[in-house]
Chains A and B, each alone.
Chain A
Amino acid sequence: MNHNIDFIKQWIEPESRVLDVGCGDGSLLASIRDQRQVRGYGLEIDPSSIASCVEKGVNVIEQDLNKGLKNFADQSFDTVLMTHTLQALRYPHLVLDEILRIGAKGIVTFPNFGNWRTRAYLSLRGRMPVTKQLAYQWYDTPNIHFFTYDDFEALCKERNIKILHRQFLANGFPDAMLKSVWPNLFTETAVYHLSR
């Protein structure tokens, strides 16, 4: 399920340097580049996504994130962006450290496993959830870590990461209406703006 995260552009300074880690087909980076005139680079491993980036004129670097980001110098970007990728990486906590080593600020989005649909699926059916947001069977899912935004905030606290902004997104019914009342139960996608 795609949520509109256009609002993150307000967190990105015009003409700043942006690294999009796991940039997919480059749509988000292209629109940030066009609206905020940033110098943006995307990292991606999937050949067809890379080809889409090239067609859009997005700077795309073929790189396997699980092999690290050591080639990027400390504080060499203003913002490091990672949308819906953290849950698919081998060591999310180390990647989070890397994001804030390379970037002055980080923007991270992930699917909230605390959403009532996934909770209900697991507790009522006794099977790992397959929902619109998490549309894979357990054995072939790229999403190898499941966590709620409460888990994520606990990790930030433990690693001394400051949360500058948070936004909780939901499109479904009744999620969209109820997410402000009981966020961890009704948020589908969590968006965080982070710094050290």
Chain B
Amino acid sequence: MSLETSEKQKDLNRSVGLVKPQTAVIEQPLKLACGVVLPKHTLVYETYGTLNKNNTNAILICHALSGNHHAAGVYEQDAKAGWWDQYIGPGKPIDSNRFFIVCVNNIGSCFGSTGPTSENPETGKPYGADFPPVRARDWVESQRLLMEHLNIDCWAAVVGASLGGMQAMRWSLEHPEKLQHAVVIASSMKLTAQNIAFNEIARKAIKSDTDFCDGNYLQENKIPHQGLALARMIGHVTYLSDELMGQKFGRDLKAGDLLQGKTDPVEFQIESYLNYQGDKFSDFFDANSYILITKMLDYFDLAREYDHDPIAAFSHAQCKFLVVSFSSDWRFSPARSQEITDALIAAGKDVSYIAIDSDHGHDAFLLPNQRYQAALGGYLSRLADQLESAQ
């Protein structure tokens, strides 16, 4: 075996390997925050690792805006690993040898769970733009119904980054007795005006596409590819740092040159990269879902119903918290994580806060980083030790 293939083998051994999504039909009605009741809904999810005999070692992974249930491992027909494969697997920070890990595609998204592309039972047509608005608390409630379906009474931890961290915080307030730990990564108690502004530009880009058809494009057999691609390009820029873009692309040219005396257009590497990312995204994501979930982000305000007092909000929590931020993340900046931490300390809750140095902007939460891996791994391995000694 060559050195290269043995390295590949080693990587594969550290993966959860082949995985298959599962489907749960939740027959209990789900009353959404907007008042609409979903009489039943479908959830597509994946699990990694084994539930211990007392059902105490379950970790819920909450995905963010464009994420889904495929967090780790590979499919038989698609070798591309799940979105958080760097962090979930045997011996990895979220260790599938020790935890039973659950990741669910949330309602309103577009990877098989009930959402805008699903059939509306009242009309027999896709919901499209008529899918009811969904809040983070609705995701939490739907995840709780899945938790019952899986016979889990209490999560060892609820873990999420970005919008995922918002769900973890909401869990701690809505069902304080149903989680032992909340891991809140690169998140915020509410979006800033700048964040809402970027989301509105993205929505406007989608709605401006003539193929959007007021959200009923599926019935018209159309897809607003251009609008969705543009929305993603805008988002993508905000997930990277200026520094990283400089390092990765600089002013490198993909085509043409800048010599005088030529009229041919040039293409910068960054242009080509962003166009590619936008096009790729518009092939697999649904435009209505993008609009719905960016609004969910905008509306999220952890302390709104607690008289806008984050300390009063967190006083309801019973779990312990780990908060993580990344230095170059300007979409969910370290200052937002510090606010979460300060409120938790003032509320007298157990919390640790780790500020990771990284050039990778908001996307850092997905990427390898030694210190981040050690912090998350160290925190969860202590939890695994406790759970295993209690068995």
Which residues of A sit under 8 angstroms from B379, Cβ to Cβ?
54
Contact B375 A41, beta carbon cutoff 8 Å: no
How many Å lie between the Cα of A25 and that of B342 in the bound state? 21
A61–B353 Cα gap in the complex (Å)? Answer: 5
Contact of B351 among A51, A55, A59, A76 (CB under 8 A): A59
Closest-by-CB residue of A relative to B334 is A62
Are B353 and A51 neighbours in the complex by a CB distance under 8 Å?
A: no
A51-B374, A71-B338 in contact; A17/B348 too (CB < 8 A)? yes
Contacts of B53 in A (CB 8 A): none
Contact partners of B346 in chain A: CB under 8 A: 73, 76
Cα–Cα, bound, A39→B345 (Å): 10
Residues of the A chain whose Cβ atoms lie less than 8 Å from the Cβ of B375: 50-51, 54
Partner of B348, one of A39, A51, A57: A39
The residue from A17, A60, A72 contacting B352, defined by CB atoms under 8 A apart: A60
Interface residues on B, range: 10 to 19
Are the C-beta atoms of B374 and A61 separated by less than 8 Å?
no
Map CB proximity to B onto A7-38 as digits: 1 under 8 Å, 0 otherwise. Answer: 00000000001000000000000000000000
- Which residues of A are found within 8 Å of B350, using beta-carbon distances? 39, 59
Contacts of A63 in B (CB 8 A): 353
> Judging by beta carbons under 8 Å apart, are A54 and B378 in contact?
yes
Q: Among B352, B378, B379, B382, which residue has the most Cβ atoms of chain A within 10 A?
A: B352
Main secondary structure of the interface of B (DSSP, over half): helix
How does the 8 Å CB contact mask read for A121-158 relative to B, with 1 for contact and 0 for none?
A: 00000000000000000000000000000000000000
What residues on B are CB-neighbors of A47 within 8 Å?
A: 371
Contact B382 A57 (CB under 8 A): yes
A62 to B341, CA, bound (A): 10
Bound CA span A17–B348, Å: 8
Q: Does A190 contact B (CB under 8 A)?
A: no
Assuming the A-B contacts A71-B338, A73-B346, are A62 and B382 also in contact, with contact meaning beta carbons closer than 8 angstroms in the complex?
Answer: no
A80 within 8 A of B: no
Q: Is A62 a contact partner of B378 (Cβ separation < 8 A)?
A: no
Find out whether the CB atom of A55 lies under 8 angstroms from the CB atom of B382: yes
Beta-carbon contact of A61 and B352 below 8 Å: yes
Q: How far is the CA of A39 from the CA of B350 in the complex (A)?
A: 8
Q: Are A54 and B348 in contact (CB under 8 A)?
A: no
The smallest C-beta distance from B129 to any residue of chain A, in angstroms, reads: 43
Nearest residue, chain B, Cβ from A62: B355
A71 touches B374 (CB 8 A): no
Residues of B within 8 A of A17 (CB): 348
Contact, CB under 8 Å: A61 / B351: yes
* A185 adjacent to chain B (CB < 8 Å): no
B352 with A54: CB separation less than 8 A: yes
Query: B191 on the interface (CB 8 Å rule)?
Result: no
Residue of A nearest to B345 (CB): A41
- In the complex, A53 has a CB within 8 A of chain B: yes
Q: What 0/1 readout, one digit per residue, does chain B (260-275) give for beta carbons within 8 Å of chain A?
A: 0000000000000000
Contacts of B64 in A (CB 8 A): none
B352 to A53, Cβ gap below 8 A? yes
Chain A nearest CB from B163 CB (Å) reads 23
| CB pair A61 B371 closer than 8 Å | no
Contact B345 A61 (CB under 8 A): yes
Question: Which of B342, B348, B353, B374 has a CB less than 8 Å from the CB of A62?
Answer: B353
Flag A43-73 by CB within 8 Å of B: 1 or 0 each.
0000100110111011111110000000111
Q: Tell yes or no: B51 within 8 A of A by CB.
A: no
Residue of B nearest to A57 (CB): B382
In the assembled complex, the Cα of A167 lies from the Cα of B382 at a distance in Å of 36
Given the complex, which residues of B lie within 8 Å of A53, measured CB to CB? Answer: 352
**The residue from B338, B345, B378 contacting A51, defined by CB atoms under 8 A apart:** B378
Does B245 reach chain A (CB closer than 8 Å)?
no
Min CB–CB distance A24 → chain B (angstroms): 15
Q: Taking the complex as formed, is B218 at the interface, i.e. its CB lies under 8 A from any CB of chain A?
A: no
Chain B: minimal CB distance from A103 (Å): 13
- Decide yes or no whether B354 CB sits under 8 A from chain A: yes
> What's the minimum C-beta distance from A50 to chain B, rounded to whole angstroms?
7
Assembled-state Cα–Cα distance A62/B355 (Å)? 6
- Taking the closest CB of chain B, its distance from the CB of A80, in whole angstroms, is 13
The smallest C-beta distance from B331 to any residue of chain A, in angstroms, reads 20
A72 to chain B, nearest CB (A): 8
Report the separation of the CA atoms of residues A192 and B336 in the bound assembly, to the nearest whole angstrom: 36
Q: Across the interface, which residues of A come within 8 angstroms of B352, CB to CB?
A: 53-54, 58-61
- Complexed CA–CA distance, A60 and B344 (Å): 12
9 smallest A-B Cβ distances: which pairs? A62-B355, A54-B378, A61-B353, A71-B342, A60-B352, A55-B378, A54-B379, A59-B350, A59-B352
Q: What are 23 A-B residue pairs whose CB atoms fall within 8 Å in the complex?
A: A39-B348, A47-B371, A51-B375, A54-B352, A54-B354, A55-B378, A55-B382, A57-B382, A58-B352, A59-B350, A59-B351, A59-B352, A60-B353, A61-B341, A61-B345, A61-B351, A61-B352, A61-B353, A62-B353, A62-B355, A71-B338, A72-B345, A73-B346
19 further contact pairs, Cβ within 8 A, besides A54-B382, A60-B352, A61-B351: A39-B350, A47-B371, A50-B375, A51-B374, A53-B352, A54-B379, A55-B382, A59-B351, A59-B352, A61-B341, A61-B345, A61-B352, A62-B353, A63-B353, A71-B338, A71-B342, A72-B345, A73-B346, A76-B346
